[in-house]
Structure 1
Amino acid sequence: MDLPPLPDLPVRDVLPDVCAMLAGRGTTVLVAPPGTGKTTLVPLALAAGNGGRVVVAEPRRLATRAAASRMAELLGEPVGRTVGYSVRGERRVSAGTRVEVVTSGLLVRRLQGDPELAGVDVVLLDECHERHLDADLLLALLLDARAGLRPDLQVLATSATVAADRLAALLEDAPVLRATGATYPVEMHYLAPVRGERLETHVARAARGALSEVDGDVLVFLPGAAEIRRVSELLTGIGGVDVVPLHGRLPAAAQDAALRPGSRRRVVLSTAVAESSLTVPGVRAVVDAGLARVPRVDHRRGLSGLATVRVSAAVAEQRAGRAGREAPGHAYRCWPEHEHATLPRYPEPEIRAADLTRLALELACWGTPDGSGLAWWDTPPAGALTAGRTVLRALGALDEADRVTERGRRMAELGLHPRLARALLDGAAEIGPGAAAEVVALLDDDSLAPRADLAAAIRTLRAQRPVGWRREADRLARLVEGVPRRHDDPALVAGLAYPERLARRRAPGSSSYLMAGGTAVTAPADSGLAEAEWLAVAVADRDPGRAHGRIRLAAAADADLARKVAPGLLSTVDEVEWVDGDVVARQVERLGAIVLSEKPLRDPDPAAVADALRRGLRCDGLDLLPWGADAMSLRHRLGFLRAALGEPWPAVDDETLLAELDSWLGPELATAGRRADLERIDVAGALRRLLPWPEAARLDELAPERIGVPSGNRVRVDYSADPPVLAVRVQEVFGWTETPRLAGGRVPVLMHLLSPAQRPVAVTADLSSFWRSGWAQVRAELRGRYPKHSWPEDPMTVPAHRGTARRAPRGG
């Protein structure tokens, strides 16, 4: 293949080194910033240097088509001759094609069908720094194929950032070549939002400012198609300026128009597709919203989709650099300057946070369901991969040993997410290929639905027949078999794709629904779904910090449809639970977390009742039991001995008693049937099961319930206090010289000495010292208040008594 004169782009200087190094080493990493020509010039140079085909893997369909068009233009040929491309649903190649540009996901599928990649000499992995999930998987599979089947396969990885060390190590310690871009200076401006200003208003204000301050076109980066639409509306009417959208969901003609210079000044509103591999000509200013939309999954709540996040510093730098491709430019960042230092350094790889169900299916098709044995840039998180395999087993794509089934291979061949593949296959059998394919094409691009009503969105699309949706629906319909049916139910297809998102209204008149997966979601007020008892939810998300999700796209359903599309979630079980303070026994039919029907259970399993009572005690506390005086006294005595002596005396605090219910309350729970039975339990008797023998024989000695005092009375010890308290009238302990001690003499009781009216007059733990130093003042007070009683000067030498005694002849 002969090359025509190539544009004078920075990568030209390293093309001979790239070709030579790759031919000699087999793997190479090329680091070159955007605009240096790596995407277009390098594949042509590689094709000129060998006789086989060069396959270029791009992370996006838009970049795939644009790269092929630019290379064909350099050769002076139409696309499909020497340079062609393949994306899902469209292929433009010929027998003479030497360079084929494909999406990463498509090349994964091709590699699954032909692990040797027959006829391919070189695979170029473009824009590896973007860390898309398909690109990471493709890299791992290519390295595995190269290690076993195709050691001669040459692999070149390109990146726009300098973080290439890990990539080079993966590629068998590949050499790293660098091409330095000759860019023009870009002046930075930081525009903080006004308080309360919406994102779209802020960005539109920045774009208007850029138009007034800078000559040339303005490239605006926004997170998604919805924001592009709203900003476009705000910019409509600016004289002499065309507002042009650019994102991956646009028809090919509209994408091509955005990548061509216009006859007037333009504001190009783009998603992340224009960050690196695409060149938008004429741009002199960049307005960056500072946000990107990335895949995220919430396994616990069963929600997955796209989340809006702050861009990384590396991405912000790439975006700003687009203003300096052709001349000095300006970059307007829609955030305060002091926040720039808080941006993450690089974007988070998709593999760390995205739904890995599709990845799990591809790994199973490759023969390694857990991904072991493959060389990964980042190893797939085990939890997310396990969750993906669980979904695949439910869809019939994997067997119980996680081996791919024939159905699973068929699903993978469709090139859809496995959920959508299942919906297409099974939906076609129910409502016909055409109708099922229309719904799946919409679910695969939910931006086509401006409101939440899925059925209404399908009706609108059928009336308007947008080219991209119509082409994709027709393609999908050709891939499956079925008989056209009159019955057309978008809810059925959505339910097949997301059975755990089938949802039922939580209360009459409420806009809140409970999904079968257990998550509560709310329908928008203007969704048109307000009257539906059941919904088949296709898209739902959740704002950070909120427990409930929000429905983005759904169709009205009913219980019969839910049972039909989600038989694996149906269960009928006997449930014995603790509900609102009592045992409730019932037979319940459920669809996942949704209760379909219930009826009382007459003869519940006693063991299940005991379990419910245990849960009730742990939920509502030990106060459900009848703690009489004897039980409380025993518990406090045991607690005292545990604190004073330790093992083997048992702990009797709430936490321990609740954790060890069976060790002391088990027999009572086994015979109880409801809460009322708890109120008849002999708690003191149950606690005695905790007594440690033979040490328990000394219980009354170590912690006596009552202590005899000199008056002959036996006074109860209060063990609820620390230390234990002996409250006794002072006359009853006349003659005592030492304070009583407990726990084998280790702990003195705290004496609360009372007046004849049972009011405390003194507190002491040292009775002998009190008689000597504190009694005189107490005696004086008592003599004045209780003159009929005898209050001796030396109480250690007089007999104790209970009631009034004759006044002593001296000192009385």
Structure 2
Amino acid sequence: MDLPDLPIRAALPEIKRTLDAHGTAVLVAPPGTGKTTLVPLALAGRVVVAEPRRIAARAAAARMAALLGEPVGRTVGYAVRGDRKTSKDTRIEVVTSGLLVRRLHRDPELPGVDTVLLDECHERHLDADLLLTLLLDARAALRPDLHVLATSATVAADRLATILDAPVLTVTARTFPVGITHVAPARGERVETTAVRAIRRALSEVDGDVLAFLPGVGEIARTAALLADVDVVPLHGRLSSRDQDAALRPGPRRRVVLATSIAESSLTVPGVRAVVDAGRSRVPRTDHRRGLSGLTTVRVSAAVAEQRAGRAGREAPGHAYRCWPEHEHGTLPRYPEPEIRTADLTRLALELACWGTPDGTTLTWWDPPPQGALEAARTTLRALGALDAEGNATSRGHRLLDLGLHPRLARALLDGAPVTGTRTAAQVVAVLDADRTTRVELDPRDADPKEVRRLSSLIPTEAATTDDPAFVVALAHPERLARRRSPGSSVYLMASGTAAELPPGTTLADAEWLAVAVADREPGRTNGRIRLAARADETLALTAAPTLIREEDDIRWDGDVVADRVRYLGAIPLGRKPLNSPEATRRALLLGLKAEGLALLHWTQDATRLRERMAFLHQTLGAPWPPVDDEALLPYVDTSTARRKSDLARIHAANVLQAALPWPEATRLDTLAPDSLEVPSGSRIKIDYSTGDPFLAVKVQEAFGWTETPKLADNRVPLVLHLLSPAGRPTAVTADLTSFWKTGYPQVRSELRGRYPKHRWPEDPTTAPPARR
């Protein structure tokens, strides 16, 4: 066989010798060196090549078959989900990482396979990381003779070499020079607008096709609309196999290929001389707290930016246009973050349980799964019936795994078919799995017919009892059943407790209930955003998610008593009815008294004064005299006759205080803190305890003959006297009456006797008789 003269060709003998000697090897070779197509052809025996994406698997098989001058499916074949071209003569089979994981579950020995080539390991896809881990386990226990070759386009292969216990082989590419130009976005400019400026500049400065990397399908569509005068070809994972393959063939005219990260490393797009890099990539992220998972737009890493730029120099000198300022390039992360750290791990957790290692701690990982995310995944799987209480896979868990779908979608297909019929269940699951629709309201007719047939073949044919797509959605995501928060609102509360909003103009705007299939939340936004949903109702929600139904007592104070039994679907309230429980009412009343204070009770002037006297004794003498703040008195409030806030006003605060008095010490209350005091004139005047320092307001003439200051609390606290003029105005304040008569009274006498000549102002007030008038 005459292999093309690519950089990897000279290294093929060494690669084979290394694999024969060590059984494992790590091959570091950049894109364009031929590692994906030439190495498998050079290896002996049956070879399985694992690619991270379906399009890459088909493209690699097609390229190798073309080198052999054969159709795909003879010596070289491929198998991806829903599509397979192999025969009895197939020696090299290209598969997706996820499909090879399925095969390992069915037979960990991989009978008949001599070598597994793990391509593009640097991309760190979740399935690829799991495949590496399970292969290492199977090789150690069952197939020590199995050769494993891991390839990477980056030099960050040390960890990979360590876990494989393998030597590293490096091949450099004969690349053409690639110039770099930074096209910085204008302030507030959308990513596709900047990309269009860069694309038009590339078309004017460079010959050949332009390959533009954009974050996702939405940006590709908007960019294509702005390039109506250009031959535009999209390339992304939502396209059909035929359309994807068409983008990988040279066109009759100059083209602009608008691609997602799907074209970064494992594909060759012919004719490309210029690359436009928007600098963004869409990666899976899971928000476990809000119960949302989906794709998030992030900045690309420096390694990814280098790979993208290298696409311009595969076949001739080229140029790369980067849509960010040059000074920001140094702030890019060095490598992309592994999916295992950020993605939903529900499927991985089921894989581990079915492998017999639920926590995965006995396995060898490139990066181990985060325990918090793994436990959240196990919780989901237990709710689906896929795991038992100990975390082991149930027979249902094995069945869900066998379907080859995310466990949620497998459950929706398996349990939805008996209710909606096999075809409807398959249609909805196909839509959810592909997420191809651009409308918000889910329509089963958007499903790929080929995928519907494949899914239908996986389960028994069932006749429909009700043809409602929302039921299938709810089976997949019961925690995303949602109810409108208020009439006319576009905000819905999901069973998970997360609020999500419908975009304006959707046909679902009048729906009271929704089964939300896809929702995400942009950073900085309070509510999530509903991207795909089906119209539902309460009956459907209760039928699809019975485990989320719960009843809870709502006992609180909301300006008045609230004591109800509330029925919920997750966090969604369905209805309430009064508890009619005296204990519940008491708890609500006490919460009200805590919130608003004992001012809600009936307070007379005498009750207020009693409280002030008790507070004085507690402050002065301490125990057994109790504190009398609201919190301390609360246990003494008898609410047995109260049912609502208005009833509290009929509870006498004096009774609460009487209940709080310490006995027998309370018998000395009037001695220790008398309510009033008889002054020398014979008048009985109330003592003011309101300030915490008791005082007595008495006219000077009524205090004549009083030689010592009265004392309270067993003579511990002198009573402060506010001495008043005949008109009742303060003239002096003293706690030492003896000193006042000697030093303060002469000045008061001189000031007031001229003003009040009819009143007596004796020179010696200690011997003068007191007078009331």
Q: Which band: TM-score by shorter chain?
A: 0.7 to 0.9
* Match for residue 407 of structure 1 among 396, 403, 408: 396
Task: Confirm whether residue 142 of structure 1 aligns to residue 140 of structure 2.
Answer: no
Q: Distance in 1 between matches of 2:522 and 2:362?
A: 37
Q: Does 1:432 align with 2:425?
A: no
1:234 correspondence with 2:226:
yes
| Aligned mate of 1:32, from 29, 33, 36 | 29
What CA distance in whole angstroms lies between the structure 2 residues aligned with 1:18 and 1:666?
Answer: 86
2:237 counterpart residue number: 248
Q: C-alpha offsets along residues 361-381 of structure 1, whole Å, 9 cap, x if unaligned?
A: 112211222323222333323
Aligned match of 1:394 in 374, 383, 390? Answer: 383
1:472 and 2:451 matched: yes
- Check if 1:592 corresponds to 2:570: yes
**Are 2:632 and 1:665 aligned?**
no
**Aligned with 2:516: secondary structure?**
strand
Residue 157 to residue 574, structure 1, CA distance change in 2 (3 Å): closer
Q: Which one of the candidate residues 509, 516, 519 is aligned to 1:537?
A: 516
Q: Aligned partners of 1:692 and 1:322: how far apart in 2? A: 89
Q: Report 1:321-720 matches (<5 A).
A: 321-447=310-436, 449-455=437-443, 458-459=444-445, 461=446, 469-485=448-464, 487-571=466-550, 573=551, 575-578=553-556, 580-601=558-579, 603-604=580-581, 606-613=582-589, 615-616=591-592, 629=608, 633=612, 657=631, 665=635, 668=638, 673-676=643-646, 678-679=648-649, 715-718=687-690
Superposition deviation, residue 13 in structure 1: 4.7
Change (3 A) 1:776 1:144: farther
List per-residue Cα deviations over 1:8-49 (Å, max 9, x = no partner). Answer: 22x44544443333333333333333333332333333x23x
1:782 deviates by 7.8
Judge conservation of contact 1:518–1:594 (CA < 8 Å) in 2: yes
Could you tell me how far apart the structure 2 residues matched to 1:771 and 1:675 are? 54
Partner Cα distance (1:177, 1:325) in 2: 21
Quick one: structure 1 residues 399 and 715, their matched pair in 2 at CA, closer, same or farther if it must change by over 3 Å? same
Relative to 1, partners in 2 of residues 1:253 and 1:799: Cα closer, same or farther, differing over 3 Å? Answer: farther
Mapped contact 1:186–1:324 kept (Cα < 8 A)? yes
Question: Please, which moves more after superposition, 710-719 or 500-509?
Answer: 710-719
Q: 5+ residue gaps in structure 1?
A: 463-468, 807-812
Shift in alpha-carbon separation, 1:253–1:685, aligned structure 2, 3 A: same
Question: Secondary structure of 2:401's match?
Answer: helix
Q: Give the Cα–Cα distance (whole angstroms) in 1 for the partners of residues 754 and 697 of structure 2.
A: 20
Shift in alpha-carbon separation, 1:132–1:574, aligned structure 2, 3 A? closer
Q: Helix, strand or coil for the counterpart of 1:450?
A: coil
Distance 1:81 1:552 in 2: 43
CA distance in 1, matches of 2:326, 2:667: 76
Q: Please tell me the residue identity of whatever aligns with 1:580.
A: D
The Cα shift of 1:313 comes to 2.8
Cα deviation digits, residues 431-453 of structure 1 (max 9, x gap): 32222211111111122x22111
| Per-residue Cα deviation, 1:182-201 (whole angstroms, up to 9, x for no partner) | 43443333333334433322
Distance 1:639 1:482, change over 3 A: farther
Relative to structure 1, the CA distance from residue 110 to residue 752 in structure 2 (aligned partners, 3 Å threshold; closer, same or farther) is: farther
What CA distance in whole angstroms lies between the structure 2 residues aligned with 1:688 and 1:210?
91
Using the alignment, how far apart are the partners of 2:610 and 2:287 within structure 1?
A: 49
Q: One-letter code of the match for 1:24? A: A
Matched residue pairs, number? Answer: 764
More off after superposition, 625-634 vs 143-152 = 625-634
Select 1:320's aligned residue among 300, 309, 323. 309
**Contact 1:638/1:652 (8 A) holds in 2:** no
The C-alpha deviation readout for 1:377-436, integer Å capped at 9, x for no partner, is 333233322222222222222233332222221111111111111111122212322222
The whole-number CA distance in structure 2 between the counterparts of 1:317 and 1:791 is: 105
1:268-315 per-residue CA deviation (whole Å, 9 max, x = no partner) reads 100011112222222222222222212222233322222222223332
CA–CA distance in structure 1, aligned partners of residues 559 and 707 of structure 2: 52
Alpha-carbon distance in structure 2 between the residues aligned to 1:160 and 1:801: 112
Q: Is 1:111 equivalent to 2:113 in the alignment?
A: no
Query: Cα 1:128–1:730, aligned 2, differ >3 Å: closer, same or farther?
Result: farther
Partners of 1:74 and 1:767 in 2: how far apart? 119
User: Which one-letter code corresponds to 1:419 in the other structure?
Assistant: R
In the other structure, the counterpart of 1:466 is none
- Give the TM-score normalised by the residue count of structure 2: 0.85
1:750–1:763: 8 Å Cα contact kept in structure 2?
no
1:335 maps to a residue whose letter is: W
1-side partners of 2:514 and 2:768: how far apart?
Answer: 83
RMSD of aligned Cα (Å): 4.3
Identify the match of residue 207 of structure 2 among 190, 215, 222.
215
Q: Which amino acid aligns with 2:226?
A: L
Amino acid at match of 1:420: L
- Contact residue 752 and residue 760 of structure 1 kept, 8 A: no
Distance in 2, Cα, partners of 1:667 & 1:156: 78
Counting only pairs closer than 5 Å after superposition, residues 111-130 of structure 1 correspond to structure 2 as 111-130=104-123
- Mapped to 2, the partners of 1:624 and 1:18 lie a distance apart of 87
Q: Per-residue CA shift, 1:605-655, capped at 9, x if unaligned? A: x444444445545666676566763586379659967xx99x99999988x
Which AA in structure 2 matches 1:270?
A
Q: What is the identity, as a one-letter code, of the residue corresponding to 1:590? A: Y
Matched residue type, 1:584 = V
Contact 1:200–1:230 (8 Å) recurs in 2: yes
Describe the SS at the equivalent of 2:79: strand
Q: Which runs of 5+ in 2 are unaligned?
A: none
Q: Which amino acid aligns with 1:85?
A: Y
SS in 2 for 1:584: strand
Structure number with larger C-alpha Rg:
2
Cα deviation for residue 254 of structure 1 reads: 1.7
SS at match of 2:358: coil
Q: In structure 1, give the amino acid aligned to 2:529.
A: R
How far apart are the structure 2 equivalents of 1:256 and 1:497? 32
Q: Is 1:4 the equivalent of 2:40?
A: no
Q: Distance in 2 between matches of 1:15 and 1:767?
A: 113
CA separation of 1:638/1:684 partners in 2, compared to 1, >3 Å: closer, same or farther?
A: farther
TM-score (norm 1): 0.81
Find out whether 1:42 has 2:36 as its counterpart.
Answer: no
- What is the aligned counterpart of 1:179 among 168, 171, 175? 171
> What is the rounded CA distance, in whole Å, between the counterparts of 1:709 and 1:33 in structure 2?
105
Structure 1 position 473, deviation (Å): 0.9
Structure 2: which amino acid aligns with 1:285?
A
2-structure distance, mates of 1:802, 1:264:
125
SS in 1 for 2:110: coil
Looking at structure 2, the residues matched to 770 and 706 of structure 1 have their Cα atoms a distance apart, in angstroms, of: 25
2:275 counterpart SS class: strand
Instruction: Output aligned runs, 1:728-767, within 5 Å.
Output: 756=725
* Pair 485,787 (structure 1): closer, same or farther in 2 beyond 3 Å: same
Aligned-pair CA distance for 1:128: 2.2
1:792-807 equivalence runs, <5 A: 799=766
User: 2:232 touches 2:258 (CA, 8 Å); kept in 1?
Assistant: yes
Rounded Cα–Cα distance in structure 1 between residues aligned with 2:17 and 2:136: 20
Report the CA distance between 1:511 and its aligned residue: 2.7
CA distance, structure 1, for counterparts of residue 315 and residue 617 of structure 2: 86
- CA gap of 1:568–1:725, structure 2 versus 1, over 3 A, is same
Q: Is the 8 A contact 1:504 1:515 kept in 2?
A: yes
